[in-house]
């Protein structure tokens, strides 16, 4: 995707489905690409300050105005691009933090299951 993002100025995510997370948003923002996305599901959290959110029921004119505002205004574009980079690199989104959180959840699950016999094993 790096070759695609290298030629991308702005990412549009006009989703009408309440997705849990917009991975494409995070990938684009790592490259400093601002996002115009629907205000639905997990997209607001994924986009954060690095883009513009639009009501999914908004008409095409609303999308066109938002696109023109970001595309044509170099100062606004650079502001959103920097915010996108920062948002994508936030501490809780770094691989080490994600692994640490996953291991904590797995440890908690394992601790909760220690007294439950596994299927197919004879009780000792």
Rounded to whole angstroms, the Cα distance separating 55 from 19 reads: 14
Which of the four pLDDT bands, split at 50, 70 and 90, describes residue 120?
low
pLDDT of the residue at 110: 86
Rounded to whole angstroms, the Cα distance separating 108 from 57 reads: 41
Residues 6+ apart with CB under 8 A from 122: none
* Start-to-end C-alpha separation, the chain: 53
Classified by CATH at the fold level, domain 2-112 comes out as Rossmann fold (3.40.50)
Instruction: Classify 35 as helix, strand or coil.
Output: strand
Question: What confidence tens digit (pLDDT) does each residue in 56-103 have?
Answer: 999 999 999 999 999 999 999 999 999 999 999 998 888 898 899 999
């Amino acid at each position: 995707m790096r070759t695609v993002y290298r030629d991308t100025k702005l990412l549009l995510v006009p989703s009408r489905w309440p997705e849990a997370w917009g991975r494409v948003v995070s990938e684009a923002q790592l490259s400093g690409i601002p996002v115009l996305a629907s205000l639905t599901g997990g997209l607001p959290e994924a986009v954060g300050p690095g883009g513009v959110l639009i009501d999914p029921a908004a008409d095409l004119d609303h999308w066109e105005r938002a696109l023109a505002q970001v595309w044509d205004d170099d100062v606004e574009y650079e502001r959103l691009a920097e915010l996108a980079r920062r948002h994508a690199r936030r501490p809780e989104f770094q691989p080490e933090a994600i692994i640490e959180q996953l291991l904590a959840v797995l440890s908690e699950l394992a601790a909760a299951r220690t007294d439950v016999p596994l299927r197919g094993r004879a009780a000792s």
